[in-house]
Amino acid sequence: MNKTELIAKVAEVSGLTKKDSELALNTTLDAIKDSLVAGEKVVLTGFGTFQKRDRKGRVGRNPRTGEEIKIPPSSVPAFSAGKQFKDTVKGKK
Protein backbone atom coordinates (compact mmCIF):
# COMPACT_ATOMS: atom_id res chain seq x y z
CA MET A 1 0.00 0.00 0.00
CA ASN A 2 1.38 3.39 -0.93
CA LYS A 3 0.44 6.83 0.38
CA THR A 4 -2.27 7.43 -2.25
CA GLU A 5 -3.90 4.10 -1.45
CA LEU A 6 -3.72 4.85 2.27
CA ILE A 7 -5.42 8.22 1.74
CA ALA A 8 -8.16 6.52 -0.28
CA LYS A 9 -8.68 3.92 2.48
CA VAL A 10 -8.89 6.61 5.18
CA ALA A 11 -11.42 8.51 3.06
CA GLU A 12 -13.49 5.36 2.51
CA VAL A 13 -13.56 4.30 6.17
CA SER A 14 -13.96 7.77 7.72
CA GLY A 15 -16.36 9.31 5.23
CA LEU A 16 -13.98 12.24 4.72
CA THR A 17 -13.08 13.47 1.27
CA LYS A 18 -9.76 12.35 -0.19
CA LYS A 19 -8.51 15.93 0.12
CA ASP A 20 -9.41 16.06 3.84
CA SER A 21 -7.92 12.61 4.39
CA GLU A 22 -4.69 13.69 2.71
CA LEU A 23 -4.55 16.80 4.90
CA ALA A 24 -5.12 14.69 8.04
CA LEU A 25 -2.43 12.19 7.07
CA ASN A 26 0.12 14.85 6.09
CA THR A 27 -0.55 16.79 9.30
CA THR A 28 -0.06 13.63 11.36
CA LEU A 29 3.20 12.76 9.62
CA ASP A 30 4.47 16.34 9.98
CA ALA A 31 3.66 16.33 13.70
CA ILE A 32 5.61 13.07 14.14
CA LYS A 33 8.61 14.47 12.21
CA ASP A 34 8.55 17.75 14.16
CA SER A 35 8.49 15.88 17.47
CA LEU A 36 11.45 13.71 16.48
CA VAL A 37 13.44 16.75 15.34
CA ALA A 38 12.74 18.31 18.76
CA GLY A 39 14.11 15.15 20.42
CA GLU A 40 10.72 13.94 21.65
CA LYS A 41 9.32 10.43 21.48
CA VAL A 42 5.91 9.83 19.85
CA VAL A 43 4.01 7.01 21.55
CA LEU A 44 0.85 5.69 19.88
CA THR A 45 -0.50 3.21 22.41
CA GLY A 46 -1.39 -0.08 20.78
CA PHE A 47 0.53 0.81 17.62
CA GLY A 48 4.11 1.71 18.43
CA THR A 49 6.74 4.30 19.28
CA PHE A 50 8.65 6.64 16.99
CA GLN A 51 11.93 8.03 18.32
CA LYS A 52 15.23 9.50 17.23
CA ARG A 53 18.30 7.35 17.77
CA ASP A 54 21.87 8.61 17.72
CA ARG A 55 24.54 6.61 15.94
CA LYS A 56 28.14 6.96 17.08
CA GLY A 57 30.84 7.87 14.63
CA ARG A 58 32.90 4.95 13.48
CA VAL A 59 35.58 3.88 11.06
CA GLY A 60 34.41 2.02 7.96
CA ARG A 61 36.11 0.66 4.90
CA ASN A 62 35.64 1.51 1.26
CA PRO A 63 34.79 -1.89 -0.26
CA ARG A 64 36.31 -0.98 -3.61
CA THR A 65 39.72 0.21 -2.39
CA GLY A 66 39.91 -1.16 1.15
CA GLU A 67 40.76 2.36 2.35
CA GLU A 68 39.55 3.29 5.83
CA ILE A 69 36.99 6.10 5.96
CA LYS A 70 35.59 7.98 8.91
CA ILE A 71 31.79 7.75 9.22
CA PRO A 72 30.49 10.73 11.21
CA PRO A 73 27.90 10.45 14.00
CA SER A 74 24.30 10.81 12.86
CA SER A 75 20.71 10.74 14.09
CA VAL A 76 18.20 8.37 12.51
CA PRO A 77 14.46 7.84 12.99
CA ALA A 78 13.39 4.54 14.53
CA PHE A 79 10.07 2.76 15.03
CA SER A 80 9.30 0.08 17.59
CA ALA A 81 6.03 -1.77 17.09
CA GLY A 82 3.75 -2.09 20.11
CA LYS A 83 2.56 -5.44 21.46
CA GLN A 84 -1.01 -5.07 20.19
CA PHE A 85 0.23 -4.18 16.68
CA LYS A 86 2.66 -7.13 16.67
CA ASP A 87 -0.06 -9.51 17.81
CA THR A 88 -2.44 -8.27 15.10
CA VAL A 89 0.19 -8.81 12.41
CA LYS A 90 0.96 -12.28 13.78
CA GLY A 91 -2.73 -13.14 13.53
CA LYS A 92 -3.52 -13.02 17.26
CA LYS A 93 -6.38 -10.59 17.75
pLDDT tens string 24-79? 999 999 999 999 999 999 999 999 999 999 999 999 999 999 999 999 999 999 99
Q: Rounded to an integer, what distance in angstroms lies between the CA atom of residue 77 and that of residue 34? A: 12
Q: What is the mean pLDDT of residues 1-26?
A: 97
Residue 92 has pLDDT above 80, yes or no: no
Cα of first residue to Cα of last residue in the chain, in angstroms, is 22
The 3-state secondary structure of 67-89, one letter per residue:
CEEEECCEEEEEEEECHHHHHHH
- Phi, psi torsion values for 34, nearest 5 degrees: -60, -40
For position 91, what pLDDT does the model report? 86
For position 63, what pLDDT does the model report? 93
